[in-house]
Amino acid sequence: MPIPRLGVLAVLMVLVAACGRGDAGDRGHEARSPVDPAVVQTAAGAVRGTVEPDHRLFAGIPYAAPPIGPLRWRDPEPAPRWDGVRDATAFGSRCLQDLAGDLELGRQTDEDCLNLNVWTPAAEPGRPRAVMVWIHGGSFVAGSGGIYDARRLAARGDIVVVTLNYRLGAPGFLAHPSLGPPGEVGNYGLADQQAALRWVRDNIAAFGGDPGKVTVAGESAGAMSVCDHLVAPASQGLFDAAIIMSGPCQAQAPLPVAEQRSIEYAAALGCADKATAAECLRALPGNKLRTPVWFYEIGDDRLSGPATGSAELPADPVTAFGAGRAARVPVLIGTTRDEWTLFVALQHLRDGRDYTPEEYPRLLADTFGADARAVAGRYPLSAFPDVALAYAATVTDGILACPAERWARQLSRDASVYFYEFNDRNAPAPDPLRTLPFPVGASHSLELRYLFDVGGAPPPDPAQVRLGEQMVDHWAAFVRAGDPGWPGVDAGVMSLQPDGSRMVETFGEVHQCSFWAGLQ
């Protein structure tokens, strides 16, 4: 089944505001106090972070060498050592990305961006704390780890949280055959994530974390990355549990497709000669690489990101899940009730109009190909108040909700798996999403505000505050013990809602999963 535009997931930045601590400052050197809780010794050198009453933050720590010059489009190298105490009170540069529509204004972007942030509870523990490593979303073309303020997860959850940057767009995923041996090109962004996981293994104990209890987690493109790590050979043994939030795990490009599109991308930059393309590409100024490389086109929609059939990712995750070839670790996986309303909302905001009834058949054909007629019969316009909501329901159900539940059941054959649906259809949303002619409901990414401290939306009401506290408790419990505190997927789906979260058995009926299974 074709996948609709996931490149638009970069607009996650619309929904998550920057934390406001600014860019990384100059790296200072100063004497280290042996009892100073703001100073931690890493393998590469000491860092000085920020100590608040409820948490500590160590920001902008390099976990790999700058991927510049001859290291551009190569697997990450270890970070160089430094002398003295490195300032870690401000976030480092974001990875290179297209600045059109950028909402993290004032935050520097640079190829030298392989840094991470460590959030801990305020007090040193008597025992090591479990660790959650968070991979940001943004369609593999935008975003940064610095916009996810994890102080509540760390303090209330009593865990250590690591957020990270990884190479995006062309620097992260260009798969030009000249860049390396056959089958070993592309997926540099995934290799960065693996390097960050190795850094956690080697350094997190100094921050009070337990290197033997690491959960890799992410939302949207970050969740798709988690799916990849569950099956990538080099990721095995680097984590002990996984959290997949609204992850399009089926959206990778086959390596031949990624290679061909990368050849076309390079040619457009003046590097058409395959014999000299690698040298030509590595000599380009970084600003020439801000435009993403797109691997798929479906109508006006485009996809970028990881490629399968490569040394880094030999098999696509969905095939591996079905064959029982994923890492056998506990998994927390879920979706939001109205995933795709975000993207039809953004179409409305971008074009200043809604979809028309005449466009509905084309939308379905572009998205579902030969199955479009069957989908139109099951999701007739007469059943919805708006074309946008009709189309959003088809993608929510057919691309995200039902596949995620299927993957959960497949993974549960070999490990403990817990499934949830975020179901607050009045979740606080940014101003633009509250001006639409249709409701966005529990849309893609709106659950992030219940876990991370981010701005840009009205404050939650008391019931939503309680739901946020419960979600932090559930996520932290899973990180600590591999169990969020509700039954596994075989017993049903946990519906997370402000009037009382509960296990339900109607998920498949609501999202018409039997119909979608019949199209496989």
CA 357 – CA 364 distance, rounded (Å): 12
Pair 171, 110 in one domain: yes
CATH of the domain at 218: 3.40.50.1820
Question: Comparing C-alpha atoms, which of 165, 194, 206, 164 is closest to residue 56?
Answer: 206
Would you say residue 28 lies in a domain?
A: no
Tell me how far apart the alpha carbons of residues 35 and 54 are, in angstroms, rounded to a whole number.
18
Q: What is the pLDDT of residue 298?
A: 47
Answer yes or no: is 101 within a domain.
yes
Show which of 266, 284, 313 is a domain's final residue: 313
- Which residues, at least 6 apart from 20, have a Cβ–Cβ distance to it below 8 Å? none
| Same domain membership, residue 372 and residue 280 | no
User: Residue 351 and residue 58: Cα distance in Å, rounded?
Assistant: 41
> Is the CA virtual torsion 59, 61, 63, 65 positive or negative?
positive
* Residue 132 resides in a domain: yes
Nearest Cα to 137, choosing from 147, 124, 125, 150? 147
Distance in angstroms (rounded) separating the CA atoms of residues 134 and 144:
11
Which of 285, 313, 341 is the last residue before a domain boundary?
A: 313
Amino acid code (one letter) for 90: A
Domain identity same for 426 and 503: yes
186, exposed or middle or buried, with CB in 10 Å at 0-12, 13-18, 19+? buried
Joined together, the tokens standing for residue 313 give 């990712």
What residues are labeled active site?
A: 220, 339, 444
Same domain, 184 and 228: yes
The count of domains in the chain is: 2
Inter-residue contact 75 to 191 (CB < 8 Å): yes
Domain that holds residue 502: 330-461+483-520
285 and 337 both lie in a single domain: no
With the C-alpha atoms ordered 488, 489, 490, 493, is the resulting torsion angle positive or negative? positive
Closest CA to 194 of 230, 146, 140: 230
Residues 352, 306 within the same domain? no
In a domain? residue 39: yes
Residues 340 and 293 in one domain: no
- The per-residue pLDDT string of the chain (520 residues; one tens digit each, 9 = 90 and over) reads 545 544 444 344 344 433 334 343 333 444 444 579 999 999 999 999 999 999 999 999 999 999 999 999 999 999 999 999 999 999 999 999 988 755 555 568 999 999 999 999 997 768 899 999 999 999 999 999 999 999 999 999 999 999 999 999 999 999 999 999 999 999 999 999 999 999 999 999 999 999 999 999 999 999 999 999 999 999 999 999 999 999 999 999 999 999 999 999 999 999 999 999 999 999 999 999 999 999 875 434 567 899 999 999 999 999 999 999 999 999 999 999 999 999 999 889 988 888 999 999 999 999 999 999 999 999 999 999 999 999 999 999 999 999 999 999 999 999 999 999 999 999 999 988 988 999 999 999 999 999 999 878 899 999 999 999 999 999 999 999 999 999 999 999 999 999 999 999 999 999 999 999 999 6
Q: What is the 3-state secondary structure (H, E, C) of 391-407?
A: HHHHHHHHHHHHHHHHH
In this structure, the answer to whether residues 419 and 292 fall within a common structural domain is no
pLDDT of residue 26: 38
Distance from C-alpha of 57 to C-alpha of 160, rounded to nearest angstrom: 10
* Domain shared by 135 and 274, yes or no: yes
Question: From start to end of 129-178, where are the E strands?
Answer: 129-135, 160-164
The answer to whether position 474 is within a domain reads no
Q: What pLDDT score was predicted for residue 355?
A: 92
pLDDT at residue 101, rounded to an integer: 58
Token look-up 């990881």 returns 306
Is 167:67 a contact under the CB 8 Å cutoff?
Answer: yes
**Is residue 1 one of the residues assigned to a domain?**
no
Find the DSSP H helices in 76-187. 151-157, 169-173
CB 214 within 8 A of CB 131: yes
pLDDT of residue 37: 93
309 and 337 in a single domain? The answer is: no
Nearest-CA neighbor of 451 among 130, 228, 119, 52? 119
How many Å apart are CA 196 and CA 134, to the nearest integer?
10
